[in-house]
Structure 1
């Protein structure tokens, strides 16, 4: 799919996250993937780190206003704002700190509060409205991938890959490698990007651009074709790989998507 009005906000270079912040985000994602009701955990960093709310409430967000902001974000999670907030603060005390007037981002992630807010908000939106049955993991993986949350898509599919056998396992591995390559493109790690895309191509060579499982059919034929286009863009014209990738060119090419049928 070509870039356009629907281009995800994260379809662009991203900073490398400090390990504590990466773990903070990963803990909430993994909880949500294990139990869809725990998607609610993503709402609180999205709210507390939102730049407009922080500017309007520099001393902290009053709890009543925090719960009010969360209510529309929690539709579909099966949790009330009050119950979800109690669970978040009990299970994840690094959610927030108390400021003079209310709740503020926890000191662990406060320096990157705007980025954490954005990633949590995008992740929550990607996970809302998905089937909660056997399709959940694959639907989550596809939705996260399409939102340019490539590392998160990798995490969604990994348990399915670990349980799979034969061609299904090989194809899921290829999709994980594809997502990993795009994550490395975001953080501009050229060797990791190219190596993972080449490995993904090899793993997906016999797939026909789709994979079938108990959760339905996942199509990725255009995304697979796009790998070769991007690898070709890394050629310096002599058959060798350019020492510095044409980053602008890579971002201008059609954005990859997966489709769960």
Structure 2
């Protein structure tokens, strides 16, 4: 199945994992526009999480929280691994970040005063070998 995944998707994964969230959004949005289901909603879920992280980098707590939730809800419809990525792990990491953001509250994020003991771990997309090798 991994050979049928567009190379642009892998470019988007690389951008996501290197913190280039706006570029990732652009790359995946181009795929999303052209895709049909079930890939269309999958791409949309991943790009919504990327945009959430972009909002977070701009200290937009509300945008980050909303899009983390929307992207995660969309990805919950997919199996544990899909299109060569570990969906469960992305959902787990996204939920942990969402929980930390909700606990911290908008004031701390927008003021930029998260203490050293309150580091936010950003999700990474893990690539899996679906053939079972």
- Report the TM-score when normalising by structure 1: 0.41
Give the aligned partner of residue 70 of structure 2.
199
Structure 1 pair 242–257 and aligned structure 2 pair: CA distance change class (3 A): closer
Determine if contact 1:142/1:153 at 8 Å carries over to the other structure: yes
Displacement over 6 Å in runs of 4+: none
The gaps in structure 1 that reach 5 residues or longer are 1-132
Tell me the distance in 1 between the aligned counterparts of 2:102 and 2:11. Answer: 34
1:134 to partner: Cα distance: 6.4
Tell me the distance in 2 between the aligned counterparts of 1:140 and 1:154. Answer: 11
CA RMSD of aligned residues (A): 2.6
Tell me the matched-pair count: 121
The gaps in structure 2 that reach 5 residues or longer are 129-133
1:209 to partner: Cα distance: 4.2
The answer on 1:140 being equivalent to 2:11 is: yes
The answer on 1:155 being equivalent to 2:26 is: yes
Give the aligned partner of residue 91 of structure 2.
224
- Report the TM-score when normalising by structure 2: 0.76
Pairing partner for 2:100 from 197, 221, 233: 233
Aligned partner of residue 105 in structure 2, secondary structure: coil
Query: Relative contact order (C-alpha < 8 Å, sep 6+): which is higher?
Result: 2
Give the aligned partner of residue 131 of structure 2.
none
